[in-house]
Chains A and B, each alone.
Chain A
Amino acid sequence: KAGVTQTPRYLIKTRGQQVTLSCSPISGHRSVSWYQQTPGQGLQFLFEYFSETQRNKGNFPGRFSGRQFSNSRSEMNVSTLELGDSALYLCASGLSREDTDTQYFGPGTRLTVL
């Protein structure tokens, strides 16, 4: 079974631009979560989607948004990019047969904002 896939793997943008990242979960998984990893703040939760609904949200500004499609694929969007948005963005998926279960992570998208 294929793992979690993320596209693109690398991205370079300039301040003020917007970006859209994509995540395809493991087949059959209904939950998709997004995380940001930076050297200063570590790994931080952005949001989780389950059955096309946002189930959880972290403490990030409204410039960060996401959505989930009927096939469970998810996208996250960052508008008006800032230098501090440079980070590794990781996506995770889970079956969510119960309320919470094993999360499997994708390879990440490395975003550089110039």
Chain B
Amino acid sequence: GIQVEQSPPDLILQEGANSTLRCNFSDSVNNLQWFHQNPWGQLINLFYIPSGTKQNGRLSATTVATERYSLLYISSSQTTDSGVYFCAVASIKAAGNKLTFGGGTRVLVKP
């Protein structure tokens, strides 16, 4: 099946810093989402971005489908940005919404 790798696994930031999270995937996809998992376990949807670029406030994401990677940018980080960020994809070879998740990037923003 499709493989998803996220890097780095851990990231420690000072408040106000910028960062880039990366997601590599091994096959063509028709669904790619970025999630933020809060301390209580809920996955918060950040972006639905199988291709192209999107921005939402201090967050933005870019997916280059032809090169099989996606980037999540966090600008002017805040302590509330702490948590685990997941990338999830659905292979174009599989029908429906079967998402394969990467291992996540654990982000800690220090005040």
Chain A residues with a Cβ under 8 A of chain B: 31, 33, 35, 37, 42-45, 48, 50, 55-56, 58, 88, 90, 92, 94, 96, 99-108, 110
Contacts and interface: CB of A to CB of B under 8 A. Distances in A.
B41 A37 contact: yes
B41 A108 contact: yes
Given A42-B103, A42-B104, A105 B97 contact: no
A55 B96 contact: yes
B41 to A, nearest CB: 5
Contacts of A104: 45
The main secondary structure of chain A at its interface with chain B is strand
Contacts of A31: 96-97
A35 B35 CA distance: 14
B35 A50 contact: no
